[in-house]
Amino acid sequence: MENLPDRPHPHAHLRASDTDRDQVVDVLRDALMSGRLSQDEHAERLEQTLQARTLGELEPITRDLVVPGQAQPVPLPMTQPSVSNSPVPIEEPADPSQSFDTMVAIFGGGERTGRWRVKRRTNAFAVFGGHDLDMTNAVFEGREVTIYAFAVFGGIDITVPEGVTVRNEGVGIFGGFGARGSDDPNPNAPTVVVKGLALFGGVGGQSSAKRHGKKNKGKGHHELH
């Protein structure tokens, strides 16, 4: 039988969005949970997904996992809502497509604290290690930011400022997955979406008031711990 070349992806040249990557991540997670991928295969494809820049690079990752006939992801237009009265600093990046960060902790630990910039997409990997993401005094690069947390025999702790809402969309397998936001959410404050997987590990967190006490209500710089 004659081997025909693969039909090129019609949108292969287009830049991949966070939404496109999230769709691939969801397919990989389902494949891992159903046994179609081993843990090593899942980790390898997950790394490829997070590094993909175009739809053409994303498409082969799930070619043998997606049901035939399923529509390919199409980039969605990114809207930039104007926020002027947020209790938490929000500074829109000059190039939203470059607003991403990756943190890796293997048999060790890492932390972010102080006035650091929370990207629209942050990928945090903890394998036999841990991450501490303290956003109490951070600057957000969007009204909604996504933390993709992948913890294997490790832990990832997330602290958000008062008023910030946290939305958990991750899965825990022989582990825990659940970070909490402010008890008094502010509709003008950012939302932190936490996605990913905790395998024999944990992903969790709390608001700054629960972690540091009721002290971060004034303006200006705060004492760091």
Cα(182)–Cα(191) distance, rounded to whole angstroms? Answer: 10
* DSSP-assigned beta bridge partners for residue 131: 110, 156
Backbone angles phi, psi at 198, to 5 degrees: -115, 110
Position 80 scores a pLDDT of 44
pLDDT value at 217 more than 80:
no
The tens digit of pLDDT for each residue in 79-133 reads 444 444 888 999 988 887 788 899 999 999 889 999 999 999 999 999 999 999 9
Could you tell me the two tokens for 104?
A: 């890796």
Cα(178)–Cα(171) distance, rounded to whole angstroms? Answer: 9
In this prediction, residue 225 has a pLDDT band, given cuts at 50, 70 and 90, of very low
Do 159 and 204 touch, CB atoms closer than 8 A?
no
* pTM of the predicted model as reported, rounded to 2 decimal places: 0.61
Calculate the CA 29 to chain-centre distance: 14
Position 210 scores a pLDDT of 84
Position 215 scores a pLDDT of 46
Position 140 scores a pLDDT of 95
Cα(199)–Cα(131) distance, rounded to whole angstroms? Answer: 15
Could you tell me the two tokens for 138?
A: 């951070």
Q: Which helix (H) or strand (E) holds 210?
A: helix 208-212
Position 11 scores a pLDDT of 63
Give, to the nearest 10 degrees, the angle between helix 39-51 and helix 18-34: 180
The tens digit of pLDDT for each residue in 5-64 reads 455 555 667 887 777 887 888 888 888 878 888 878 888 888 888 888 888 888 888 888
Q: By C-alpha distance, which of 171, 172, 168, 169 is closest to 200?
A: 172
Residues in the chain: 225
- The DSSP 8-state label assigned to residue 96 in this structure reads G
Q: What share of the chain is helix, strand, coil (3-state, %, to 5)?
A: 20, 30, 50
Task: Identify how many contiguous H helices and E strands the chain contains and give both numbers.
Answer: 4, 13
Position 82 scores a pLDDT of 45
In this prediction, residue 67 has a pLDDT band, given cuts at 50, 70 and 90, of low
The tens digit of pLDDT for each residue in 134-159 reads 999 999 999 899 999 999 999 999 99
- The alpha helices in 112-162, defined as continuous H runs, are none
Domain ranges of the chain: 18-61, 96-211
**Mean pLDDT throughout 177-200?**
90
In this prediction, residue 163 has a pLDDT band, given cuts at 50, 70 and 90, of very high
Could you tell me the two tokens for 124?
A: 């945090």
Mean pLDDT estimate for the chain: 80
Cα(36)–Cα(42) distance, rounded to whole angstroms? Answer: 9
Position 113 scores a pLDDT of 92
Do 48 and 68 touch, CB atoms closer than 8 A?
no
**Mean pLDDT throughout 213-217?**
53
Do 145 and 192 touch, CB atoms closer than 8 A?
yes
Judged by DSSP in three states, 8 sits in: coil
Q: Which of residues 82 and 210 earns the better pLDDT score?
A: 210
Q: Which of residues 173 and 4 earns the better pLDDT score?
A: 173
